[in-house]
Chains A and B, each alone.
Chain A
Amino acid sequence: MKTTDLQKQLAAANKVVETAKKKADAIQAKIKAAAEKKKPKSIYDTVTTLPHVYKHLKVDPKKDVIKIDGFSKEDIECLQNIVSRMRIAKVYNGGKIGQRNEGRWYPWSYLKSGGSGLVFDGSTYDDDHATAGSAARLAFLSEEGSTKYFKNFQNVEEGIIQL
């Protein structure tokens, strides 16, 4: 056999291998996607809006009453958002309340100069320290919970911070 014939046969064989490899990769991806579908979704992916939170807690926010002598509209809004964060924390923490010596995670943000709104700057935690943000009923019991809270509910955090 001439060398060129062998080379042609090799090229054809390589093509077959390549096609088979591509097929195998596609099947692998399908298997992975099917497994992902079967995997139970995390609470952070299923509860991403306030209506989801209300549904999860089986509460009707229309029944919320917050009337405080001397409070401005913005003060009431701040408080309503604190209430929302308490509800979100309750759902994301599986109903568990933060305890002493437990990592209580919370987000912190960067303020764009001259702009408005918050830019996520990371989640941090307190265990033997505490501030308002790491309060038992406002903090998250995992870094993911805190980060996903900011990602999914940035408007709530902005409603609390009001800067």
Chain B
Amino acid sequence: MSKTLKLDLDTAKRLYPNSQPEFKELLEQNFGKEAFKPIPIEERIADYDDVCEILGVDSDDKTIKIEVPGFDKGQLDNVLAFIKKMRVVEAYNGQKRCNRGDKRWYNWYTLKSGGSGLVFGHSHYYVDHARTGSAARLAFLSEHHLRDARSKFHYIDEQLIDL
């Protein structure tokens, strides 16, 4: 008895990473090697919705429950910005957390005098020192990812710094 197995590209892509080498070869022969090339994270992320999709979480702020007695709206918005930043960092770092000895990259901004908002100053990293910005859950493991995230999520840093 023989049966024919039909696979669409989406299913093949899902199966590919955990497949045995022989099956991988079979998939590549049928769909082409290009189809299974990993897509760089910066190409997969355009906005916060993409970040949440990668992490498998709902991007609606209403799904986040924060009740902190004594906090005003400004403080709650600040906490929300930290949550978003942590999600962005997690998506870019491939859900890998920073450890001691890793280069932990973070942004340093200049404040426009007399105005509002932040102007990018420079990227910075720490290995053997730490401050809040370079905390394990707030720092990026690559400068390239930090730069890409800054171009797309500058507004989150503005909400978080709130100056």
A interface residues (Cβ-Cβ under 8 A, vs B): 57-61, 63-71, 74-75, 78-79, 82-83, 86-87, 97-101, 106-111, 113, 118, 121, 128-138, 160-163
Having A78-B135, A86-B71, A163-B136, one finds 8 other A-B pairs with CB under 8 Å, namely A64-B68, A97-B74, A100-B163, A128-B110, A129-B121, A130-B163, A135-B132, A138-B132
Knowing A67-B65, A162-B137, the reply to whether A110 touches B128 (Cβ < 8 A) is: yes
Q: B58 to chain A: which residues have CB within 8 Å? A: 69
Answer yes or no: B96 CB below 8 A from chain A CBs.
no
CB of B129 within 8 A of CB of A100, answer no
CB of B162 within 8 A of CB of A137, answer yes
Knowing A110-B128, A135-B161, the reply to whether A161 touches B135 (Cβ < 8 A) is: yes
Answer yes or no: B82 CB below 8 A from chain A CBs.
yes
Closest to B60 in A: A69
Answer yes or no: B35 CB below 8 A from chain A CBs.
no
Which residue of the partner chain, among B57, B78, B111, B160, contacts A100 with CB atoms under 8 Å?
B111
User: How many of chain B's residues touch chain A, expressed as a range?
Assistant: 35 or more
CB of B69 within 8 A of CB of A133, answer no
Interface-forming stretch among B18-26, B38-46, B99-107, B141-149? B99-107
Q: B88 to chain A: which residues have CB within 8 Å? A: none
**20 sampled A-B residue pairs with Cβ under 8 A:** A57-B70, A58-B70, A64-B68, A64-B69, A68-B65, A70-B56, A70-B57, A71-B86, A75-B137, A78-B137, A82-B82, A100-B111, A109-B130, A113-B100, A130-B111, A131-B133, A132-B161, A133-B131, A137-B78, A162-B97
